[in-house]
Structures are given as C-alpha cells and as structure tokens.
C-alpha cells in the first residue's frame, strides 16, 4: 500500500505534461460547441498529433506503438489530459477497446494491417454488438454469417452503434453456427464499412443528438481472413472487449467527474439559493459533500481494482462495480446540480440564461444513458451476483 507516485511514474507524468504543454490545442473550447460532424476532422488531427508523440495508446505494448503503460500510468494519462482540458481522440473505440482486442486475439497479419491505422486515426472503428432483439441478452444475437468459399456472407441488423456514421471498420459479432448453444455459435468479424450491402442510419437519442446509429447488413461479403479469433469462439473475444470497456473507463472518467464536482462547488459559492450563496445552504452543502466523497471513492475503488488486475493479469468481473458506481454517481451528481440551479437547471444551450452554456441540462439528460450503455446496471449486478459472489445464474 503506497499511493505515492514512484520515480518512474513521476517521470512519465512530467514527460507527458511537458509534451501537452507544447502540443495541446488551445482552441478546443471553440470547437467543442460545434456538432460532432464539424469537429471530427479536428479530433482526428489531434489524435494524429498524439500518435506522433507516441501518446495515442499508452496502454498498448511498445511493439504496437504504445508505451506499455501500467494501469497507474494510464490513470495519470487521463488525469493530465483532463488537467489541460484536452479534446477527446477521434478513434476512441479503436484505441480503448477494439485495438486491445485485436492485439489479444488477432493474427500477426491482422495486427499489422489494422493497428497502425487505428493509432493514426486514419481508420475509425465502431463496434457492432447490440441488436434490436439482443441487448442485455447479447449472446442471443441473430446477425448471421454463412461461409461461402473464402468469404462470409453477412445478413442482419445492429443498433446503438457509436461512431457508426464515421466508422471505416467495425468489430461485428455474428452467428456462425445457428445450431450450437447460443454462446457457442458466435464469431467476430472485422468488416470494412464501405463493403456493398452495409447501410448506416442515424438514431436520434433523447438529448436530440445522434451519437449512435443503426446498421443494416445485406449479403455483405467478408473475406475469411477478417475473422478475429477462432470461429465459434466469438463470445470470448466479445467478452474481452466488454471487460476492457468496464474495467478501464473509470480511470478515464474520474478526472471528468472531479472537474464536474469542482465546478459545482465553485458555482455554489456564487449561485444564489434563498437569498444566499448555495454554498451556505445546509442541504446543498450536504449534497455537494456527498458527491465530492463519492467521486473520491470512485478513484480509490479504481486504484484497488488496478492492483488486482496487476496481480491477476486481466480485468475481471469486479470491473462491474466500477461500471455501476460511476454511472449511478454521474446521475446523482447531475441531480445535485439540478437541485442547486432550480428552474435554471432545465435551460438548454441556446438559452442565454442557461448555466454554463447548457452543459448541466445536457448532462442531466445524457447521464440517463450511463446506466444503460456498456451493460445495464441490472446486468452488472447479475454479473457480480454470479461471477463474483458465486450465486446461481439468474438468467
């Protein structure tokens, strides 16, 4: 138990800090208000720059363009990125989830073909997992791939695909053996989104934006060399992607949460509630302190999870407590903001009276998705019940 940064971690932080000081863009605050379509080339350019400094995928092994960063160094990375309010990277799914999955399960040829362009943001990746009838019960998915010579022929529909509209490639989970038990008949294909028969439609969500897409596949031909991992072993490949998703997002999100609670505390000192600053209202103080404490506990849980991952070598089902913790905390934090702002909380970006240009009204709506995306809170609790506590399977 030693929570001081080691000399090596300090070196890592200082090197990154110096690089960011010289290279982090100064004009992100102007771009962040534009639509994602408009700002996407900007985000792509930023990722390319990070990649040139070998900062795009610090967690990846050195031979694949990363730095072999430890989990603590990864946390430092996100902390420093947040500190300078750096923009996100364009290819976040490729870097965070799909790249690591390809490194873990891919052939040498696949790694050589895909990894460099994930890093440079030349090829943007999306993830084709959920279907209209396969959400929480992901393994029941029906999109099928039939072998035809040296190609798979893919037919089906995917939904809730982030980056679908801009994706060049997709990690697609398909059914290759309809007669096997549901977990045993799946495979993962890497699909070129420009293939004939691929159609992408925007899906408008309750915030009014379209972060996600629906994707339709009609007789799409995929060469067999684009099978990731073994045929009919796709569930294991997909689960390793989901583990990266649940295990690592906490480190990325913590600095953002920290910034949000700090901003709320700052606002509480001037925002008036019943004729005095909200920071002097006993109930508001209680709620802000509760959020502050929980944001800190989120960090501490993450650090303890890191130690376990370092000891066991892979993110485990304990990552599910992180997913539950951050997603539900984010909702509570937005609720506290709403209570503090009263009627001003509801005002949208375009209203001149909106607090912080509407980020809190947006956050209030957007965080409803947090307990649904990347595995609902209910699924996470079932994972803990079965895989961590050893209770009988409930589904």
Partner 1 sequence: MEFGLSESQRLLRDNARKFFATECPMAEVRRLMETETAFDAALWAKLAEQGYTGCIFSEDYGGVGLGKGELVLLMEEAGRALLPGPFFSTVALAGPVIDAVGSPEQKKKYLSPICAGEARSTVAIFEDAAAWDPTRFQVSAVNGKLSGEKRFVTDVAAADWIVVAASNGVFLVDPKASGVEIAPMSGMDLTRKLYTMRMNHTPAEKLGDVAGLAGALDIATAALAAEMAGGMQRTLEMTVEYAKTRKQFGKPIGSFQAVQHQCADMYLETESSRSAAYYAAWALEEKAPDATVAVSIAKMYTSDASRTVGNRGIQVQGGMGFTWENDVHLYYRRAKASETAFGDATFHRERIARLVIDVGAETARHA
Q: Which residues are catalytic?
A: 245
Binding mask 356-395 for partner 1 (x = CB under 8 A): ----------------------x-xxx-xxx-xxxxxxxx
CA 29/CA 326 separation, integer angstroms: 25
**Does residue 7 interact with partner 1 by CB under 8 A?**
no
Q: Which residue carries 């991992």 as its tokens? A: 229
- Please, which residue, 180 or 297, has the CB nearer to partner 1? 297
**Does residue 325 interact with partner 1 by CB under 8 A?**
yes
**Does residue 288 interact with partner 1 by CB under 8 A?**
yes
**Does residue 306 interact with partner 1 by CB under 8 A?**
yes
Contact assessment for residue 133 and residue 157, using Cβ atoms and an 8 Å cutoff: no
Torsion of CA 234, 239, 240, 245, to 10 degrees: 130
- Please, which residue, 353 or 393, has the CB nearer to partner 1? 393
**Angstrom distances, CA of residue 358 to CA of 36, 336, 354, 361, 362:** 17, 15, 5, 5, 6
**Does residue 4 interact with partner 1 by CB under 8 A?**
yes
Contact assessment for residue 212 and residue 160, using Cβ atoms and an 8 Å cutoff: yes
- Please, which residue, 175 or 258, has the CB nearer to partner 1? 258
- Please, which residue, 370 or 382, has the CB nearer to partner 1? 382
- Please, which residue, 211 or 318, has the CB nearer to partner 1? 318
**Does residue 307 interact with partner 1 by CB under 8 A?**
yes
CA 132/CA 203 separation, integer angstroms: 12
- Binding piece for partner 1, criterion CB under 8 A, among 124-132, 282-290, 335-343, 356-364: 282-290
**Does residue 286 interact with partner 1 by CB under 8 A?**
yes
Among 112, 201, 204, 304, binds partner 1 (CB under 8 A): 304
- Please, which residue, 141 or 288, has the CB nearer to partner 1? 288
**Does residue 249 interact with partner 1 by CB under 8 A?**
no
What residues contact 205, with CB distance under 8 A and at least 6 apart? 211, 212, 369
Q: How many residues does the chain have?
A: 395
267-296 as b/e: b if 16+ CB within 10 A: bbeebebeeeebbebeebeebbeebbebbe
Q: What are residue 145's DSSP bridge partners?
A: 154
Residue 267: which of 282, 286, 290, 284 has the closest Cα?
284
- Please, which residue, 224 or 391, has the CB nearer to partner 1? 391
Among 265, 359, 365, 372, binds partner 1 (CB under 8 A): 265
CB atoms within 10 A of CB 66: 21
**Does residue 253 interact with partner 1 by CB under 8 A?**
no
**Does residue 297 interact with partner 1 by CB under 8 A?**
yes
Helix (H) or strand (E) holding 203: strand 198-203
Tell me the site size for partner 1, rule CB under 8 A: 52
Minimum separation from the CB atom of position 81 to partner 1 (A): 18
How do 144-148 and 151-162 pair as beta strands? antiparallel
CA 330/CA 50 separation, integer angstroms: 28
342-351 as b/e: b if 16+ CB within 10 A: eeebebeeee
- Binding piece for partner 1, criterion CB under 8 A, among 196-204, 231-239, 248-256, 283-291: 283-291
Residues of span 55-84 touching partner 1 by CB under 8 A: 72
Site residues (vs partner 1, CB under 8 A):
1-6, 9, 72, 265-266, 268-269, 279, 282, 285-286, 288-290, 292-294, 296-297, 300-301, 303-304, 306-308, 310-311, 318, 321, 324-325, 378, 380-382, 384-386, 388-395
């Amino acid at each position: 138990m030693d929570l001081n940064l080691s000399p090596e971690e300090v070196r890592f932080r200082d090197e990154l800090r110096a690089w960011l000081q010289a290279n982090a863009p100064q004009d992100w605050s102007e771009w962040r208000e534009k639509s994602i379509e408009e700002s996407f080339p900007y985000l792509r350019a930023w990722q390319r720059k990070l990649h040139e400094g070998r900062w795009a995928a610090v967690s990846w092994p050195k031979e694949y363009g990363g730095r072999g960063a430890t989990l603590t160094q990864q946390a430092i990375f996100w902390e420093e990125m947040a500190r300078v309010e750096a923009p996100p990277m364009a290819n976040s799914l490729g870097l965070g989830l799909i790249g690591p999955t390809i490194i873990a399960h891919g052939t040498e040829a696949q790694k050589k073909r895909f990894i460099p362009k994930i890093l440079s943001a030349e090829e943007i990746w999306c993830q084709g997992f959920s279907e209209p009838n396969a959400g929480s019960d992901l393994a029941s998915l029906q999109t099928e791939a039939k072998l035809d010579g040296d190609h798979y022929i893919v037919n089906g529909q995917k939904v809730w695909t982030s980056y679908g509209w801009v994706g060049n490639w997709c990690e697609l989970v398909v059914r290759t053996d309809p007669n096997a038990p549901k977990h045993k008949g799946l495979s993962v294909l890497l699909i070129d989104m420009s293939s004939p028969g691929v159609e992408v439609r925007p899906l408008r969500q309750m915030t009014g934006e379209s972060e996600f897409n629906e994707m339709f596949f009609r007789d799409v031909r995929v060469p067999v060399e684009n099978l990731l991992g073994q045929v009919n072993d796709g569930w294991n490949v997909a689960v390793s992607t989901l583990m990266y998703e649940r295990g690592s997002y906490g480190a990325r999100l913590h600095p953002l949460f920290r910034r949000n609670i700090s901003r709320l505390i700052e606002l509480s000192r001037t925002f008036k509630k019943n004729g005095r600053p909200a920071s002097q209202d006993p109930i508001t103080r209680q709620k802000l302190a509760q959020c502050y404490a929980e944001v800190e506990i989120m960090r501490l849980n993450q650090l303890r999870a890191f130690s376990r991952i370092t000891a066991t070598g892979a993110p485990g089902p304990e990552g599910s407590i992180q997913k539950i913790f951050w997603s539900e905390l984010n909702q509570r934090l937005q609720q506290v903001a709403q209570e503090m702002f009263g009627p001003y909380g509801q005002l949208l970006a375009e209203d001149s009276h909106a607090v912080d240009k509407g980020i809190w009204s947006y956050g209030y709506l957007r965080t409803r998705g947090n307990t649904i995306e990347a595995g609902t809170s209910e699924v996470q609790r079932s994972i803990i019940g079965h895989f961590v506590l050893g209770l009988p399977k409930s589904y």
